[in-house]
Structure 1
């Protein structure tokens, strides 16, 4: 996964095929996030009607069947100096987010009194308005728990982001903007989440500054067993 790299190295409507999306500017090399933007479907935002967090299944389900909830899996991945409160090395009791991707700051994590959130890079309600309403429960569960779409981040920055997309919110940490947008492109491409025209253009604007930024890959399968 390339989520932590700071280097700048797909449902109706017009699809914008071709990495330039018919808008001019650099097309991006094969395998780049910029090239992948042109593969996303462009369509207007649907109504948020009917959205509930529970539509994406039980929060932090153990979809990879490793015995630990997804939240703790991501904390273990993204924090340093991790200590656990159980014998299974599942429940993260403390750790340090050395370089918060959204602000660039250093944040100490303590379970139950933390300033660290686990953010969905592509927010659940954003996905709901751009295709997820039509998905089967197993796909929504997979989306909500896919490590490709999850990131430990400073809580107040995450809450300011809300369900914003690239057109409405970017990290104040400018060094992370290319990896951040590349990750959103990767998640939307993997799950077939569409983008609005404004969002597509905003993605391109960021990634044209780092046209060699690779498209992240990996994560879990796009279908999960409901009830796990």
Structure 2
């Protein structure tokens, strides 16, 4: 009868000095890799050294032209000063919310033939990547909200506080700065700049930041250092990112 040979798995012997050294070297290497990957995300200085704030393309070039102001003034802000949904620039009888819904939703159904009011449609939400079925109604309309990509409060402290009423109304109802998005995501964003909020849909972040840059350039608004660094960090991952056309 053949004799079976059993092979025992060899394990590290922590009492062996040589093997203890090997274990420590492996741990040190793993920690080093983790620090190398993680530090640029948390340390602005390391990001600058490692090139995390370098970017190429139209969006990056346009960002470089924006004035940096690290002492933004938010005093006196009032959302109503921007007159959102109080104009009808194209004269179609509907405010800009209806116009943006009609522009960005698919399978649009209007309230009645000849109406410009959207009754229903499908939104491929850029902020979450989810598909939302929009239906007009007291309990359902808020599922899709219109976001100012550069928030009104951010615009105010970035220069809009010095504008005329007409200039603020133009900004508040400029469809270039408006997107229909998931209502919860819009509420989560609030008035945050790119330094404090980005879409959870990573595939849209480059386009989102590029549009913010386009809006700020169009209206000669400022950015803070943190905001600019956050934008560059995003653009670093998408070389050649263009600014959306207005």
Q: Shorter-chain TM-score: what band?
A: 0.7 to 0.9
- The reply on whether 1:100 has 2:125 as its aligned counterpart is yes
1:205 and 2:233 matched: yes
Aligned pairs for 1:37-48 (under 5 A) are: 37-48=63-74
**Residues 212/83 of structure 1: CA separation in 2 closer, same or farther (3 Å cut):** same
Which residue pairs with 1:85 in the alignment?
A: 111
Sort the Cα spacing of 1:128 and 1:87 in 2 relative to 1 into closer, same or farther, 3 A: same
Unmatched segments (≥5 aa) in structure 1 = 1-19, 219-228
Query: Which of 48, 53, 63 is equivalent to 2:79?
Result: 53
**1:45 touches 1:130 (CA, 8 Å); kept in 2?**
no
Q: Distance in 1 between matches of 2:86 and 2:209?
A: 23
Shift of 1:202: 0.6
Separation in 2, partners of 1:81, 1:24: 41
Answer whether contact 2:104 2:180 (CA < 8 A) is retained: yes
1:123 to 2:148 alignment: no
Equivalent residues in 2 for 1:59-74 (5 A)? 59-74=85-100
User: How many angstroms apart in 2 are the aligned matches of 1:164 and 1:193?
Assistant: 15
- Alpha-carbon distance in structure 2 between the residues aligned to 1:59 and 1:50: 21
8 Å CA contact 1:100–1:153 kept in 2: the answer is: yes
CA separation of 1:80 and 1:121: change in aligned 2, threshold 3 A: same
d(CA) in 1 for partners of 2:101, 2:229: 32
Q: Structure 2 residue aligned with 1:177, among 205, 209, 213?
A: 205
Structure 2: runs of 5+ lacking an equivalent: 1-47
Change in CA separation of 1:168 and 1:25 when aligned onto 2, cut-off 3 Å: closer
Contact 2:194–2:230, Cα closer than 8 Å, also in 1:
yes
For the residues of structure 2 that align with 1:58 and 1:128, how far apart are their CA atoms?
14
TM-score normalised by structure 2 residue count: 0.74
After TM superposition, the structure 1 stretch with the greater mean CA deviation from structure 2, 208-217 or 124-133, is 208-217
Task: State yes or no: 1:137 paired with 2:162.
Answer: no
Give CA deviations for 1:106-164 in whole Å, capped at 9, x if unaligned.
Answer: 10111122210010000001101110000011111111111110001000001000000
Name the CA distance, whole Å, in 2 between partners of 1:137 and 1:111: 31
Deviations 1:4-45 (A, max 9, x none): xxxxxxxxxxxxxxxx9xx9954524xx11111101110024
The higher relative CO (CA closer than 8 Å, separation ≥ 6) is in: 1
CA contact (8 A) 2:128 2:185 kept: yes
The answer to whether 1:34 aligns with 2:54 is no
Higher fraction of helix: 2
Residues matched between the structures, number: 194
- Tell me the CA shift for residue 59 of structure 1: 2.5
Equivalent position of 1:10 in the other structure: none
TM-score normalized with structure 1 length: 0.80
What RMSD in Å do the two structures reach over aligned CA positions?
1.8
Give the secondary-structure state (helix, strand or coil) at the position aligned to 2:221.
coil
